[in-house]
Chains A and B, each alone.
Chain A
Amino acid sequence: MTAVQTPPAAARAVGARPRRRGSMGATPAFWLFMGPFLAGLVVFVYLPIAWSFVLSFNRAQNTVQAREFVGLQNYIDLLTPGPFLDSLWTFTIFAAIIVPLTFVLSLLLAVLLNQITIARAFFRSAFFLPTACSYVVASLVWKLSIFNGVRFGLANQVLSLFGVENIAWLSSVNPPWYWLVIATVRLWLQLGFYIILFLAGLQRISPELYEAAYVDGAKAGWQTFRHITLPQLRTTSVAVLLLNLIAAYQAFDEFYNLLGNSSLARPPLVYLYYTAQGNQDYGHGSAGAMILAGLIVLVTLLQNRVYGFGRPE
């Protein structure tokens, strides 16, 4: 890697020969190491995406073969008011709840964890641990134990101490308590991961910045947080927002396990799952997947433009 540090002109002067020999030697090794991964990626990711693209222009009922070309009909069907647009609305509500909450809570906890001096490792592990739990398992714990709708549910037991009647958390429509269940299970599961991201970001901030601020008369607390910590965390914050939003787009497990195929709250992936796997309508399923993928790409690019994710600081 010394060549990297050599000035470009010098590198050129030293000669192209050794470098070419190096790359010739590296090529087989590159393919050897990357080959299996790339093959997997092509076979299990890119091919299905390409096939989905083809199917999305076809009527594919109970078949995954492109037999009957229907042009843009599948896309038109999905984009007229109906369950798919409703599912995007559900996603919007979900994202509006979950993204800001996750962002604020994980930042807050990360700042606290960063300042703590006793039992650091313990507290960090304690917050990170739920990340290791599966969405399916957590959903079942939430459904059967914590937010069980009858008298032996944990939440209802606590509320009964205050004389509150049993609440059917997942069945109640007015008010829609199921959002509480859905939001808390995801917060519990994903906070730890974003805390780690913020912690890493916090540890990259040079202590000298704070010292200089104190010398200039800044007060510890909100002032330094607002003018030093937050700006320094810009890249991390954008990454957290972006990952969080994409994760929200891809929400499936908790909705599927807690609510099933319920039109009350059915995010896009759950709708598409039931369209393709339940109704065996792979044409509409594929078209929906394409629309969703397009939306995610669009939002990512837009966020890039606004926040400059990946741009050098």
Chain B
Amino acid sequence: MPPQKSHLPSMPASTRRTFLSLVGALGLGGALAACGGDSGGLDSGGGSGGGKPTLKQWYHLYGESGTEQAVQRYAQGYDKAAVEVQWTPGDYESKLSSGLLSDNGPDVFEYQLNADMVRSGQIVELDDIVGPVRDDYTGTDITATSLDGSVYGVKIVDDTGFLYYRKSLLAAAGVQPPKTMDELIDATRALDRNGVKGLFIGNDAGVTPAFGGGALLDLVLWSAGTANLTADNKVGFTTPEAKDSFRKLQQLAQSGSILLGAPTDFWDPSAFTQELCAMQWTGLWAMPKILETFGDDVGIVPWPALSATVGKPVTFLGGWTSMVSAKATDVDMAKDFVKWLWIDNAQAQEDFNLNYGFHIPPRKSIAAGAQKLQEGVAAEALRIFNESAVAPNPMWTPKMKSAFADAATAIVRGGGDIDAELAKAQQTVEAELARLAA
């Protein structure tokens, strides 16, 4: 799952404004950090007091209050090194990529695994610390953090998404929770009444990656039983099923019954809680606010299958992964810290995932024992996650995603030709695959 999909979702409005206003400043900072090797100096902390070595750990900004204090608290508990936590409001992605290019980057950081980080030697293997507990992670977690059979990250937060619906509105319109794309299109049309739109999948109709948009870019393929890349790393989005799925999404987007132009995007439940739409595709993170607003009048289902015979209902695996920089001052120490905090420390993992926002602790044993995931819609969420979540493929690079999203935008929003647009994307993706294979 692309990082912007999950790092924006949980931000409240005020932090989003801060985010936008800081984007420029951080971009500049990143550019400066990139061009002068020793221009940082502020946080190099080389001398470190008390004789303990220093570990630099970077996070993006989690919107939920209390999270920053929590990670500071965990960091203080590590006794082999002084851990300097850097909490990053704004464009974490740019800052992190600049940081990893320079010598002043983090020792330990959170991000999503992608093949280029491995190919360019930015991160180190973590097989030795994950190996012994590998079975305590879901298969999707392991897939999302592995490349060429080696594990490069430790999941610290699992996120996922659902189609939330208002039971009362569905009953009034006489429709069932949709299981196939045709049912979804019919339901969306039927629910579009009295100034309330049928469905919200983002202002971009789910296909344009902007500030966490592009929610359906993977789902449109997964729900048709295919994926952007096949298991043997060939283009998977040009199959007849994939094209059918695009046709259905095009139909949905042009139905006139989906909500467009809402103040916030798919990651924020406001459109749903302000009754601008009867159904919304959004994340697990939004569940507390939705339940608080509508109580029992809410149900969830995964994204519908392409049809009763093709594909299956799906959702995504999101969240964050802790990784160790190859440029870490002491790689072994950094690995030890990751193991101590995110593998061994069950209490911290449950606290971090469930006491501030609402996420699934990645270790199965912790998720299964967590009180807050035992009943009601939350229990249903855990079940859907375990059954239907699909892992992102680390070989799917940002450049491939851009090309694919351009095609999807042209098809779904612009009504463009499906074959021609996908063929264009295929060219770029194949060039990227060739580069990665070299």
Contact = CB atoms under 8 A, between A and B. Distances in A.
Interface of A: 43-44, 47-48, 51, 61-64, 82-83, 134, 136-137, 140, 144, 148-151, 153, 166-174, 253, 256-257, 259-264, 274-275, 277-281
B256 to A, nearest CB: 10
A62 B93 contact: no
Nearest to A252: B24
B414 A149 contact: no
Nearest to B97: A280
A62 B116 contact: yes
Contacts of B94: 277
B97 A277 contact: yes
A53 to B, nearest CB: 13
A263 B405 contact: yes
Contacts of B117: 62
A211 B94 CA distance: 61
B398 interface: yes
Given A47-B35, A168-B260, A262 B409 contact: yes
Interface residues of B, number: 52
B376 interface: no
21 contacts: A44-B32, A61-B435, A62-B116, A62-B117, A63-B101, A63-B120, A82-B428, A83-B403, A136-B24, A148-B263, A149-B260, A150-B259, A150-B261, A150-B263, A153-B261, A168-B203, A171-B204, A173-B415, A260-B204, A261-B402, A280-B398
Contacts of B36: 43
Contacts of B355: none
Contact of A170 (B20, B27, B261): B261
B73 interface: no
B261 A261 contact: no
Interface string B23-60: 11001001110111000000000000000000000000
Contact of A279 (B100, B262, B398): B398
B211 interface: yes
Nearest to A156: B261
Given A136-B20, A260-B213, A150 B276 contact: yes
Interface of B: 17, 20-21, 23-24, 27, 30-32, 34-36, 93-94, 97, 100-101, 116-117, 119-120, 122, 195, 203-205, 208-211, 213, 259-263, 276, 397-399, 402-403, 405-406, 409-410, 413-415, 424, 428, 435
A221 B330 CA distance: 78
B403 to A, nearest CB: 8
A260 B208 contact: yes
B41 to A, nearest CB: 15
Contacts of A264: 208, 409, 413-414
Contact of A174 (B21, B23, B261, B415): B415
Nearest to B212: A260
Nearest to A256: B23
Given A64-B101, A168-B261, A264-B409, 10 more contacts: A43-B35, A62-B101, A83-B403, A148-B263, A149-B260, A150-B259, A169-B261, A171-B260, A259-B208, A262-B208
Contact of A278 (B100, B402, B409): B402
Contacts of B34: 64
B261 A148 contact: yes
Contacts of B20: 136, 140, 257
Given A259-B210, A261-B402, A263-B406, A61 B116 contact: yes
Contact of B413 (A140, A151, A173, A277): A173
B235 to A, nearest CB: 17
Taking chain A's interface residues, is the majority helix, strand, or loop, or is none over half, making it mixed?
Answer: loop
Contact of B203 (A48, A61, A171): A171
Contacts of B409: 262-264
Contacts of A278: 93, 398, 402
Contacts of B428: 82
B24 A274 contact: no
Nearest to B399: A279
A223 to B, nearest CB: 48
Given A51-B35, A62-B117, A281-B399, A260 B209 contact: yes
A278 B92 CA distance: 11
Contacts of B211: 260
Nearest to B24: A136
Given A140-B20, A263-B405, A277-B27, A150 B262 contact: yes
B399 A62 contact: no
Given A62-B120, A279-B398, A83 B406 contact: yes
A86 B208 CA distance: 16
Contacts of B398: 278-280
Nearest to A169: B261
Nearest to A172: B260
A136 B209 contact: no
Contacts of A151: 195
A149 B210 contact: no
Contact of B405 (A64, A169, A253, A261): A261
A263 B24 CA distance: 22
The list of the 10 closest CB pairs from A to B, nearest first, reads: A149-B261, A260-B210, A168-B261, A168-B260, A171-B260, A263-B406, A62-B120, A279-B399, A279-B398, A62-B116
A259 B209 CA distance: 9
A263 B428 CA distance: 15
Contacts of A169: 261
Contacts of A277: 27, 30, 93-94, 97
A280 B260 contact: no
Contacts of A82: 424, 428
A174 B253 CA distance: 12
A287 to B, nearest CB: 14
Contacts of B210: 259-262
A166 B27 CA distance: 36
Contacts of B406: 83, 263
Contacts of B260: 149, 168, 171-172
A257 B208 CA distance: 13
Contacts of A51: 35
A262 B276 contact: no
Contacts of A257: 20
Nearest to B209: A261
A270 to B, nearest CB: 10
A262 B414 CA distance: 11
Contacts of A170: 203, 261
